[in-house]
Structure 1
Amino acid sequence: ALDYPAYDLCGLLTGSEGMLALMTSITVRLVRNPPAIKTLLAVFDSVEQAGMGVSAIIAAGLVPATMEMMDQKIIQIVEPFAHAGLPIEAQAILIIDVDGYAASLDQQIAEVSRILLAHGGRDLRVASSPEERTQIWFARKSAAGAITRLAPSYYTVDITVPRSLLTETLFEVNQVCEKYGLRVGYVFHAGDGNLHPLIMIPDPEDSDLVERVHSAGREVVELAVSKGGSLSGEHGVGIEKRQYMPLMFNEAELAAMWDVKEVFDPQSLLNPGKSLSHQRYS
């Protein structure tokens, strides 16, 4: 290891959002692709039901390579573009990859399928060719861009919650958006509990609407933290979520972050104003 014992400098710098150092080179290790992979698509009658399916798979000790979810709003705007055969009548779908040696895949698919069927999944379908699998994933990866067919702008809330709490979190996020009179669509990484509620903004010039969107966003973040989750899953803190840091960290923890910042960057030249407040926490 290049780090001194007990110091995870790689992790520290990787998660620092450019606040601690300027990286001039990166050494990586190549990982072999899995020898075989299969993709399963399952239909559900609600977003919450799909969340229950994910929680059940994790509770059973199974670890698929990927579990992604899309709700009906997203499915219906993506399918006419991607032509992946997504069921537009479905309220939600899960896209699940299993990988490993070819001889193990059928058993993995069978175990995952049994659990999904027991939790409301239906019309399960395994991609029959690499081309079909590619098309399904093309549809999933097109979701964020395609949502502009519903609204010219949208606000992505990036949160993470324990996977066992996915279902109740989805239900409560829906309640928050309903309270503020907002439409929301879902695309998220179900396998690691990373939710991306996409709150529609049909008129970005409507200041009242934008204010309601941000109020809902804050409540969704508070909801995630209250469930032992994180205010950000992968998009980072930056400026937008800087104000939410005290929801997740106490004063001593925030002060420790400033201590580290000042060791690496005493003049605060690197990405100033990101993640931490402009003034040091007391």
Structure 2
Amino acid sequence: MHVTTAKLAEIKLTSQYLRLDTDVSALKKSVESVGLIHPVTVNQDRELLAGARRFQAVRELGWEELPVQVVDRDSLAQELISIDENLVRSPLGPIELERYLNRGREIYEALHPDANKVDLSADEPTAEQKLERREQEAQDEDSFAAVTAQKTGLSKAVIQGAIKRDALASDEVKRARSEGELNATATNEVIKLDRETQAKVLPLIAGKTAAETRRIVAAARAGGLDAAVEESEQVVPLPREYREMLAPVKRVNKSISRILIEELRYEGPQQRKINNELMTLKNNLVQYFRMVGIEK
């Protein structure tokens, strides 16, 4: 590994992990002020491995040359360098993060066969197994999850969960996630099934809560797809309006209870607005309870 200077025109932007469409305005100001502190990383063929944002900044500033760190590694090690750069420096979306973490794990474990492996088991561990895993993780310092946790500040549990979602999910599940039809919590349940069953269960859990999804997946694991269909049909769907109302109502009730218990009074400029909103809420609640047949 050595540092030299290269022309920007010579550098090849071929890596799939390069992020060349981000806002680098702040970075450009820093480079104009103090120069490029850290060189970008390239291989011997001048392919950019790490430092895409720095490259983008100096290119927009009109530089013709820049310092580069040249590495002489095999293709897997070069790919891992690019992944690490993204994990440490670039803001990634959840799907992209999961893909990078899982690919990084595959490469790391291939390059370090004696390191602890990330557990990819989809089975629900017993209490005894959970305790055993906690003890193992407490001593784990060389797995991909442990090493990446130190680099990124993410917990090992978050990293392991993200890796599992990418490693175990079917293409259909990944597509549903990318289109916003499935969140991480539901995905954690679905990946307990084999990939073929995952695709068949997706329509059954559409619009379901986490608890409902858990029940349907458990039924599929115990009795197959027919059992999952039967369980899904027993679920009374919760309308979106009710689902979105539950958490805010809990917070409002908690705040009102505290106000009443502590006799908190407010006579500031927002008093009229607050009272009007509460009066509207009161009238709506009277009508709601009348609608559902609960009147006192």
Tell me: higher relative CO, structure 1 or 2? Use CA pairs within 8 A at least 6 residues apart: 1
TM-score relative to the length of structure 2 = 0.24
Looking at CA atoms only, which structure, 1 or 2, has the larger radius of gyration?
A: 2
Greater strand content: 1
Q: Which has the higher helix share?
A: 2
